[in-house]
Amino acid sequence: MVIICETGFKSEDQNNKGYSMLEVDLYMFNPERMRRPELDHRLTVRKNLVNNRFELYRYYFSSKHIEIIFTSSDLQYVFDRGNEECNKVHFGLFKGEREKDLACKHDNSQLDSFHCEFYKQTKVK
């Protein structure tokens, strides 16, 4: 589980203009080792700084292809979709669930103390 603040996605990646420097990998999957038919890929959250929306995407290692699965202006909603995808890949038909990734609430109840600018401002006062 990770807790990430939306303010962490503000900085632009100089090697990938228009996108955030911060990207959060929800999982990396190598089906060859697990005898699964899916291609080797990772599931990642980033922010498109041009349209100001968070993206959930798959990056396929062999083809270097990016497949955008879902976009939203709400980071928690993107994490919710990512959590669903993680559970499908890792648990399939079995009952099980990984710990959910969460968006920062800017207080001690659910905090990304490293990235959260709202929290840092209140601590300075």
Number of structural domains (the chain) is 1
Which of the pair, 107 or 39, is modelled with greater confidence?
107
The pTM for the full model equals 0.81
For residues 114 and 37, what is the distance between their CA atoms, to the nearest angstrom?
38
Residue range(s) defining the domain that contains residue 99: 3-124
For residue 56, is pLDDT > 90? yes
pLDDT tens-digit map of 67-116 = 999 999 999 999 999 988 877 776 665 566 667 888 888 887 787 777 88
Task: Sort strands 3-4 and 102-103 into parallel, antiparallel or unpaired.
Answer: parallel
For residues 102 and 91, what is the distance between their CA atoms, to the nearest angstrom?
20
Angle (CA) 116 121 124, round 5°: 125
Which of the pair, 119 or 54, is modelled with greater confidence?
54
For residues 84 and 38, what is the distance between their CA atoms, to the nearest angstrom?
17
